[in-house]
Amino acid sequence: MFWLSLIPTEAVLWAIHGIVLFGIALFIGCHFIGPYKILAMPFALVIIGFGLFYEGNYYGTKDYRARIAEMEENVKEVVVESEKVNTIVQTKYVDKIKIVKEKAEENVKIIEKVVTQYDNKCELSNAAIVLHDSASQNTVSPSSGSAVEGTSKVKISDVLRTVTDNYATYYQTREQVIGWQQWYKEQKKLYEDKLK
């Protein structure tokens, strides 16, 4: 059956008709060959049966082949539309990430301009720094007082820069997840609508 898919449809149809006609001609000719009639007649019947089998198969799968051709055409259309969706979603994502980065940069400028003047006036405890670091690593802060006693040498502006960077990373990741969700919904809808 696979070999039929390699040959153009019209050629397959004419080849199948030719096999059936050859078998019929051989069957009719068997009556005129005399002593070889017994050998030729089963061979002619096998050829006719083979040809009729393929005739039935060809006409029985006609709708199926038409549906496959239609689906292949739909897949081509979906691939083109899918690329458009990819471009739109990616553009939106890149634009939103750019906005997040710009806001983070503006906040860092404000930290540099305003908050750095309080670096010498605002002292942070070691406990605050350890707690912040533990929270950023999703661990529990050590509870023993000796480990976190005293004043930290970390400046408030450094802490705020770190927090600003962390929030910017969070919002970038958030936009990425939203972009993936949007991409998935649109791709799913596109494939479901076109390939049913």
Same domain, 46 and 104: no
Q: At what angle do helices 156-194 and 126-136 cross, to 10 degrees?
A: 10
Domain contains 69: no
pLDDT confidence of residue 171: 93
Q: Total structural domains in the chain?
A: 2
pLDDT confidence of residue 174: 93
Domain contains 85: yes
Pairs from 129-132 (Cβ < 8 Å, separation ≥ 24) = 129/154, 129/159, 132/159, 132/162
Residues 6+ apart with CB under 8 A from 194: 74, 77, 78, 81
Domain contains 66: no
Cα–Cα distance for residue pair 123/56, rounded to 1 Å: 90
Same domain, 51 and 96: no
Burial 113-129 (b: 16+ CB within 10 A, else e): eebeeeeeeeebeebbb
Measure the N-to-C terminal CA separation of the chain; round to a whole number of Å: 27
Same domain, 27 and 109: no
Task: Name the DSSP letter for residue 176.
Answer: H
Look up the domain containing 95 and give its range: 77-194
Same domain, 52 and 96: no
Same domain, 82 and 56: no
pLDDT confidence of residue 137: 82
Phi/psi at 143 (5° precision): -100, -10
Same domain, 152 and 91: yes
Write down which residue in 30, 60, 90 finishes a domain. 60
Same domain, 159 and 81: yes
**Per-10-residue mean pLDDT for the chain, 196 residues long?**
58 80 84 76 85 81 82 87 89 91 92 87 83 82 66 87 92 92 90 76
pTM above 0.85, yes or no: no
Same domain, 114 and 148: yes
Same domain, 180 and 144: yes
